[in-house]
Structure 1
Amino acid sequence: MKPFISIISLISLLAAGPAMAAQATQDDSLRLAASRALLRTQPLASGSQMDTLVETNRATPDQVWVLGSATQPLPTQMTGEDRVPVSRLFLARRQAEGWQLALDDDPRFAELLEQVPAGWLSEAEKRAWRSQLAQSKRLAPENTGLGLPWRAGAAWSMTGGPHGYSGESQPYDSIDFAGGDGKVLAPQAGVIYKSCVRNGSALVKLVHDNGYSTTYYHMINLTSAPDGQRLDKGAYLGTIGNGLPCGGSTTGPHVHFSLIHQGQAEPVNRKRLGGWQFFAGNRAYQGYAQRDGNRVNVGGRLVHYHDGAEPAPPSPQPGGFSGVATPKAGNSHVNLRTSPSLGAPIGGKAKRGESVALVCHVRAEPVDGVWGRTDIWNQTSAGLWVSDGFVDTGSNQAVAPLCPASQRPW
């Protein structure tokens, strides 16, 4: 049956319109419209080149409709950070007064999608794009329905914890992975698009059917699948590498994996991928992954458990909120206070690395903690208080809800 399915898929793709590799557009007015649209939603990133790269991925024979991409190239440089260009797909229609254009994170993209000529985009493409609409039903906030981008059962290293497309840029929507056989695979079925195809590398995007999209950078030996083709879960995308087709920097062969939800960069903090729940640190590239109470820090290996059964989050504590005791250098424990103040009596202690169950938080006395100054104090399940500066919760914001008035000490 496999050859038959492949032939049917090819016929469907051809019927949807000619597929092509992304090519720099020769239309100056389209280039200007796409550049302006990208700059309106994404200010020029530090070090980006002023000339936006505008490419055509698909066009109708009469050149009235275009599916393309707009990318902010970066200078190629060697740094200690992983920098990735900003890129967005767009739909555009030529009209008498100029191009009507919408990026894929613009609600108007959906309007244009419903107006494209019949058969120009495949039904698989339309289904995937429609799932990106803001009014679509969302999965539980922490559940992405996605695996990890390598073979199930294999273990890869998390070489860089949650970070932005350019290091400290927000949100922390990306994670770096490397190891195993180096083959990057689709974490779920999705429609593929490539931008900035150069020297055997590209910016690769998969648009899934559940409101999520994923992007990949630095890969080499890319799949030959044409833009707009739907790939099954586990399909080959490329191999980890140091590819910089649109510039940026890399710290060694790996894949820069990014998460998007309904057109917007999505923080990976607390998201579940491949059986693991990921937590961001207080700085870029920090953080950890957790499964069934087992914690893996940056540099550790993660087995891909995506067998359809996501484990329940480890939550023996009330509310399911917790932090890891992180005292300052030279100290072996964190003091738990009877009220949210360093001057309050000590009611208990938590050893370095010990999990602390958190119930709620208040804003109280500022404390110079491990990651800087904070006024967040967390109440523990034992009714004691600990400054957020001395517990690693995976976020620099409060993770537990605000304490009700009845539980506040004033």
Structure 2
Amino acid sequence: MMWRLLAGAVLAGALVTTGLTPAVAAPPPDLETAVTDSMLAKARVASEAEPVVTTTRKAAGWAFGTAVLATGHEVDRHPEGWLFVAERTGKGWRVALEGEPAFAELTGRAPVVQAGERARLAGLGGQPGVQAGNDLRTGMALPYAVGQSWYMYGGPHGWSGTPAPWSSLDLAGGDQRVLAARAGTAYTMCTGWLRVIHDRGYSTDYYHLWNNIWVDGAGVSQGTFLGNTGTDVTCGGSASGRHVHFALRQHSAYVGIGNHNLGKWVPQNGGAAYQGSALHGSTRVYAGGALYNYGALGFNQGVIDANGGTAVNKRSGPGTGYGVVGSVADGATVTVSCSANGTSHAGRWGTTSLWNRLTDGTWVTDAFMWTGVNGAVNGSC
């Protein structure tokens, strides 16, 4: 008995004098913590933003959902948000957010990602916020019914107001029904906020909605109802009157909406955020004016811009040496069959020798046409 006590005392003394403690491995972070850590590392908003992780799908060691940093309700403060996919490994959760290289890899094999949405999610890769080849075609209508006119109360401005890029427009009026600008796959980011993933790396955001649909990877068509204009600021920001805050993204980052085409209008930046204008041919509407939704411009189409005139001559060949065979009105939509070089002309968008052959066999200089591409829109003749 004495030996056992003594041996115990010696052992205890050894532990005390050497400072030995049992090694205990830190537990791996749970899913919510892992996603939160990822978005905090990626965030641009202030650190006091509140992380909101919503897991919409979880099975067999995989998870998928939305990750949102909700802000306060100051003017020019909007939330940030991403889709996420996560895989459980021996070291915990491996998380990838939209725009990260691992996002395409994980969504490509995650069983919680639907087959129909894989291609669009994979298309979110690429250099964030950069248009491939400076191709500004979107194939999008304005986010309301074709044939309606809504007011552009706020011209090009940032997702969070003044900060660049000026990705967004504030739109209201008409029947107040906000519709998908182009077909895609839709996700509810939080109350009042939807994101639609389109093709070619584009996506569109719709914020401040009331009565919005709740979706998680649902396919939508151009014109699908998303919600009504409202003043919802559940996830942050402010809204003084009902509208939709409509924003353009490419490769998982907001991009300048200026010089793209939406509903056959080309928004252009002003001297300050919320100013600016939009062009349809030579017709310019400033912030506060109404935009008629003409529908989406096709990828092989253009809008005639007479640069202040009323019409543009159509010729029998690619140049002014060919005879005039008609004219086409400013603002008209034309379809291009092919293009070739001819005499050089200067227009609103610069100087070019490119001529476009229309489907009726006549030719119009590219200097008086918006196509969104600085070159042939449908191949060479």
The TM-score normalised by the length of structure 2 is 0.69
| Deviation, structure 1 residue 44 | 2.9
| Deviation, structure 1 residue 296 | 0.4
Aligned equivalents of 1:66 and 1:262: distance in 2? 22
Structure 1 stretches of 4+ moved >4 Å: 135-140, 307-310, 356-360
**Counterpart for residue 48 of structure 2:** 49
| Deviation, structure 1 residue 247 | 2.1
Aligned equivalents of 1:269 and 1:156: distance in 2? 18
2:193 to 203, 207, 217: 203
Q: Partner letter of residue 106 of structure 1?
A: E
Structure 1 position 216 matched with structure 2 position 206: yes
Deviations 1:221-262 (A, max 9, x none): 1125x3111011111000000011212111210000111111
Structure 1 position 314 matched with structure 2 position 302: no
Aligned equivalents of 1:277 and 1:138: distance in 2? 19
Structure 1 position 65 matched with structure 2 position 69: no
Deviations 1:7-48 (A, max 9, x none): xxxxxxxxxxxxxxxxxxxx9632232222223222333xx6
**Counterpart for residue 368 of structure 1:** none
**Counterpart for residue 86 of structure 1:** 80
Aligned equivalents of 1:270 and 1:240: distance in 2? 25
**Counterpart for residue 117 of structure 2:** 125
| Deviation, structure 1 residue 195 | 2.1
Cα distance change on mapping 1:94 and 1:280 into 2, 3 Å: same
Structure 1 position 305 matched with structure 2 position 302: no
Do 2:281 and 2:307's aligned partners in 1 also have CA atoms closer than 8 Å? Answer: no
**Counterpart for residue 39 of structure 2:** 38
Larger radius of gyration, structure 1 or 2?
2
Q: Partner letter of residue 216 of structure 1?
A: Y
Work out the percentage of aligned pairs sharing the same amino acid.
35
Structure 2 counterpart SS, 1:128? helix
| Deviation, structure 1 residue 266 | 1.2
**Counterpart for residue 284 of structure 2:** 295
- Aligned ranges 1:10-409 → 2 under 5 Å: 29-45=30-46, 49-60=48-59, 62=60, 64-77=61-74, 81-117=75-111, 120-134=112-126, 138=132, 141-197=135-191, 202-224=192-214, 226-309=215-298, 311-312=302-303, 314=305
Q: Partner letter of residue 52 of structure 2?
A: L
Q: Tell me how large the CA RMSD over aligned residues is.
A: 2.9
Deviations 1:378-409 (A, max 9, x none): xxxxxxxxxxxxxxxxxxxxxxxxxxxxxxxx
| Deviation, structure 1 residue 264 | 1.7
Gaps of 5+ in 2: 1-27, 309-346, 352-381
Deviations 1:343-382 (A, max 9, x none): xxxxxxxxxxxxx96869xxxxxxxxxxxxxxxxxxxxxx
Aligned equivalents of 1:213 and 1:358: distance in 2? 26
Structure 1 counterpart SS, 2:190? strand
Q: Partner letter of residue 170 of structure 2?
A: D
The TM-score normalised by the length of structure 1 is 0.64
Structure 1 counterpart SS, 2:50? coil
Do 1:85 and 1:247's aligned partners in 2 also have CA atoms closer than 8 Å? Answer: yes
| Deviation, structure 1 residue 50 | 4.0
Do 2:131 and 2:250's aligned partners in 1 also have CA atoms closer than 8 Å? Answer: no
Gaps of 5+ in 1: 1-26, 318-355, 361-410
Aligned equivalents of 1:112 and 1:75: distance in 2? 32
| Deviation, structure 1 residue 138 | 4.4
| Deviation, structure 1 residue 124 | 2.1
| Deviation, structure 1 residue 140 | 5.7
Aligned equivalents of 1:125 and 1:359: distance in 2? 39
Q: Partner letter of residue 305 of structure 2?
A: P
Structure 2 counterpart SS, 1:144? coil
Aligned equivalents of 2:303 and 2:244: distance in 1? 27
Cα distance change on mapping 1:313 and 1:261 into 2, 3 Å: farther
